[in-house]
Structures are given as C-alpha cells and as structure tokens.
Amino acid sequence: MSFVTRFAPSPTGLLHRGHAFSALTAHRAAREAGGRFILRIEDIDQTRCRPDYEAALLEDLAWLGLDWETPVRRQSDHLADYAAVIDDMNARGLLYRCFRTRREIMEGIGQAPHGPADPVRPGPHAPDQEARLLDEGRAFAWRLSLDRAREALGEGWDDLAFVEEGAGPDGETGVIHARPETAGDVVLARKDAGVAYHLAATHDDALQGVTHVIRGHDLFEAAHIQRLIQALMGWPAPVYRHHRLLTGPDGKRYAKRDRSRTLAELRAAGMTVEQLRGELGV
C-alpha cells in the first residue's frame, strides 16, 4: 500500500516545539512506511501569513533534518483550483451565500461575539434581501448547507466515517462515525480569500494523494467536516493519525505568539537537534 503524508503549516508565526513534534512524527512515519513526505504551505489567509515566516519555517524544517519533495505547494498560488470546486458545489446547490458579520451571527443565536461557539447555521438570506446585498456589492462567504449535503448523500450520510489510527482528545480511535453537524454550516469560501481552510486542505490532500493525515488532536474535530467534503466531492478518505499536543512546563499548549519557545530561539540558544528530538521523544 502506498503511504503519503504531509506537514501543512500556515506561515502566521515562527514554528515552535509543537510544530517540530508534528513534522518529525509525520516524517518518521513516512520513512518507516517507505512512503512519501510532503510539505504544504497553507497560506490562504493573506492577512496573517507572511513570506518571512514561510522562509523561516523552511529553515527550521531543514535544521530539523527533514527533507521533502519539491516544488512545495503553496495554496495562495492555486486559488483558481479552489474556486473551481466552489463553483462545482454551488452548481449542485450545496452552498449558500452568507453576507452576515460574525457579530450578526452570534447575536442571531443569542451568543456573545467572542464566546464559545455553538454550531453556526444562519441559513440562506431571503431572495430579495440577497439580491439587494449583491446589488450593493457587499462581500459574502459561501457556507456549506448541512441540509443540502444530507440530501445529496442520501443514505450515505449515516455511513460517513473515518479511520483514526491515533487518537482524538478524548481517546477516540478506530472507526469513527463522522458528525459534521457539530460544526454547523461551515464557511468553505471566506469573504476575503475566496476559499477557507477545510476546502483547501481536503482538496489538496486529495490532489496530492495523501493517504495518512498526521497532525495534532486540536484538529480532530476538523476530520468530521473534512470527511463530509470528501464524500460530497468523491475524494478518497485518508486515514487519520491525530497525536497529542505538547505542553510547556506551565501545562499550556505551545503557541506561535510565545516567541521564547520558537525553534529559532532554541537554535540560537545552542540547542542541538539531537537534544530537541530526545526531549520530544521522536
């Protein structure tokens, strides 16, 4: 069986130990399986991604001793590919335009704008309102309608599942029944970028023949909605291996904003890759 895995960072900051753990885990899995390791730059959020972070992450990964196939796919170079998928889904009636702001949506479901989110399912605008907003040139996102997706899949909806060879945050493993409804009507094309993470990532996993998605269990819930997108598009379902998240001495997850723990800092402070690998156990 072929084995293709990937590390798919977003260049929104400097990489830290958590990224090193993820990249090393995926790279090692590919080596052990005699398979392929792909690096993909997920930079569709052009307000947060920066070329200097991309250059820095390539340097960090090379320092870790990783090698990867070239050319590296950079998502911002392929927006037309994602637009074609949006057009296709749209032609099949799976999407609806959403002009609402985050504040309007949260107020609509009685939640504070920055509070924990319930599944967001604002539904389509009334046709006359939509026509007026379009006329006014207002920006809109495309949301995936769970109702239309369910109709499109028919009985297949109940069989939606993915294989988890690692574990989710609550130890979920094995064949997992996918519950895309917990994510609500997700945005597949953002107002500002024309595409959003779930669509770009699943599209590229399919295009690049990724057989094993290896990443932190903070993205375990994403597998539920990504499985739905795969089913709707007839894309193959990769196997998932979600891994634990590293925490610092304070018990908190490493974050990109925490500059003192970046790989660049560790390197500058004289840490060797062997020491880091020993510490991470990978």
Q: Characterize the bridge pairing of strands 212-216 and 239-243.
A: parallel
CA-wise closest residue to 193 among 82, 94, 67, 281: 82
- Does residue number 44 form part of the binding site for ligand GLU (CB under 6 A)? no
Among residues 17, 25, 27, 42, the one that binds ligand GLU under rule CB under 6 A: 42
- Distance separating alpha carbons of residues 130 and 102, to the nearest angstrom: 17
- Which is closer to ligand GLU, CB of 148 or CB of 217? 217
Nearer to ligand GLU, 152 or 163 (CB): 163
Cα distance between residue 245 and residue 13, in whole Å: 18
Do the Cβ atoms of 227 and 161 come closer than 8 Å?
Answer: yes
Nearer to ligand GLU, 10 or 230 (CB): 10
- Alpha helix positions (H), 166-270: 197-207, 220-233, 263-268
Cβ within 8 Å of residue 185, ≥6 positions away: 96, 119, 120, 121, 122, 123, 143, 144, 145, 146
Cβ-based nearer residue to ligand GLU, 153 or 219: 219
Residue whose CB is nearest to ligand GLU in the complex, by number: 42
Q: How many residues touch ligand GLU (CB under 6 A)?
A: 7
Q: Give min distance, CB of 57 to ligand GLU, in A.
A: 10
205-224 binders of ligand GLU (CB under 6 A): 215, 219
Structure token digits, residue 30: 């590919």
Q: Which stretch binds ligand GLU (CB under 6 A): 5-13, 48-56, 94-102, 162-170?
A: 5-13
Q: Choose, by CB under 6 A, the member of 4, 8, 44, 237 that binds ligand GLU.
A: 8
Contact with ligand GLU (CB under 6 A) among 4, 85, 120, 201:
201
Q: How far is the CB of 6 from ligand GLU (least distance, A)?
A: 7
Question: Where do runs of H (alpha helix) occur along the chain?
Answer: 17-32, 51-63, 79-91, 102-108, 127-135, 146-153, 197-207, 220-233, 263-268, 273-280
User: Which residues have CB under 8 Å from 145's CB, separation 6+?
Assistant: 94, 95, 96, 124, 185
Identity of residue 168: G
Residue among 196 and 201 whose Cβ is closer to ligand GLU: 201
Q: Considering the rule CB under 6 A, would residue 239 count as an interface residue with ligand GLU?
A: no
Determine the interface stretch with ligand GLU among 3-11, 60-68, 180-188, 237-245 (rule: CB under 6 A): 3-11
Is position 148 an interface residue for ligand GLU (rule: CB under 6 A)? no
Q: Which residues bind ligand GLU (CB under 6 A)?
A: 8-10, 42, 201, 215, 219
